[in-house]
Structures are given as C-alpha cells and as structure tokens.
Amino acid sequence: MMIYDADIICLSACFAKRLKRARIGRLPSELFYRCGIDKMLSPRFNERRDIVKIEKNFFDSKASMYEQLDERLAEIIGDGGDALSVLANASALLNLFLADINWVGFYLMKDGLLKLGPFQGKPAVAEIRPGDGVCGTAVLARATQIVSDVHLCTNHIVCDPDSASEIVVPMLRGDAVLGVLDIDSPRAGRFDEEDRTGLERFVDRLLDAIC
C-alpha cells in the first residue's frame, strides 16, 4: 500500500489511530513510517493540516476567501517544487476553498493544443483545440470567459454532466497563452466579477512563480 505526500495532509490523527487498529500493512510502526505520519507531528505539518480544516462557506465574504487563498498559494509556492507540482497543489487548494464546484483544473498549451493538466474532479476530455469549447474560446479571446448556464452555451464541451456554470481564465504571459484554469459548478450563475478578479490574480501569481 502506497500513500503519497498529497494523501498525508488528509489523514487526521483519528484516522491514523484507525489505521493502526486495522493493521493495514505489516507492523503499525512500519506503516506509520511509510505513511509519513511522523510528519504529522512536526509544526510545519500541523500548519499544513489546517489547510484541510478549511470549511467551504466558512469565510465572511468572497473577498476574504480570495485573500486567504492568496496567502495559501504563497505558502505552496514557497514550498518549491516544479511547475507541475505547484499546479497540482494549486488545483487542490482551489478545490478546498471554492464552494459549489465540481471540477477545477488546468489545461496546458502544448503543440498548439490545450492538454489536460493537474485537476480535481471527474476524468475530463484530454485535448481541446483553440476555439473549441469555453476553454478554447478563452484562448482565442485571450480573456476570461464566464458562462452562467452551460446548457445555453452552444460552444461548450461537456466533461461532467453535473456542470451548470463555468469560468475559464487564460494563463497569459506576454503574447503567449500558456494554458487555462477551468472551473465548473453544478449551480447556474455560480461565478461573478469578484471570482473573475480573484481568479485572474491567482493565475497571475501562479505564473509569476512557475514561469
């Protein structure tokens, strides 16, 4: 049984005890070592564990949510790692912070196509051509797209039938479109101008870190 670092932050002390009782693996101590549960005791890890305690809708306002999201993004950027690791953590962070979403992730431009990158949600279409779907539209327009009701959008590619609204933020650097951040919600009209501002800032900071 392999448990990766990304899983470790989701393990509560209570779950750790249950694992110990269940004796999954060989000796509990070996299991704990392999799971990296020892890391849970370090102050740094405890800070990280706070991330998973965040409850969606906990924030006073959307503005305060985006401020705290920025702070957490700075932390994961500070942790280092390559671009892929940072994008993977960024998608996890957005999934924790944003209420009412069912898909969040990145498509990265390669060989003239948007190719599926790190994401959270159901399996999705692997490649999108510029101009196709909401993602491809954002690439050609080089501007954020907000679709309040995807069922009314003729140029929408369905990935998750639960999706009702969507926001796509292009990842722009100079003349180049490096990819897009795509977020779906099961609620129509989920995304507004505040989301546009907050997410464009998020993408900008992300690109500052990985480019």
Q: Quick one: which of 66, 97, 103, 191 contacts ligand SME (CB under 6 A)?
A: 103
DSSP-based three-state secondary structure for 128? strand
Distance CA 151, CA 169 (A): 20
Q: Quick one: which of 166, 190, 199, 210 contacts ligand SME (CB under 6 A)?
A: 166
Choose between 23 and 110: whose C-beta lies nearer to ligand SME. 110
| Residue 117 · residue 179 · CB < 8 Å | yes
Query: Could you please report the per-residue DSSP string of 21-89?
Result: HHT-SSSHHHHHHHHTGGGGGSHHHHHHHHHHHPPTT-SSSHHHHHHHHHHHHHHHHHT---HHHHHHH
Q: Quick one: which of 135, 177, 178, 206 contacts ligand SME (CB under 6 A)?
A: 135
Q: Quick one: which of 95, 101, 184, 210 contacts ligand SME (CB under 6 A)?
A: 184
Q: Is 66 in the site for ligand SME (CB under 6 A)?
A: no
DSSP-based three-state secondary structure for 135? helix
Q: Quick one: which of 76, 92, 93, 159 contacts ligand SME (CB under 6 A)?
A: 159
Could you tell me which stretch among 49-57, 81-89, 127-135, 196-204 binds ligand SME (CB under 6 A)? 127-135
Q: At what angle do helices 62-78 and 193-210 cross, to 10 degrees?
A: 10
Minimum distance from residue 121 beta carbon to ligand SME (Å): 7
The binding site for ligand SME (CB under 6 A) comprises 103, 124-125, 128, 133-135, 156-157, 159, 166, 182, 184
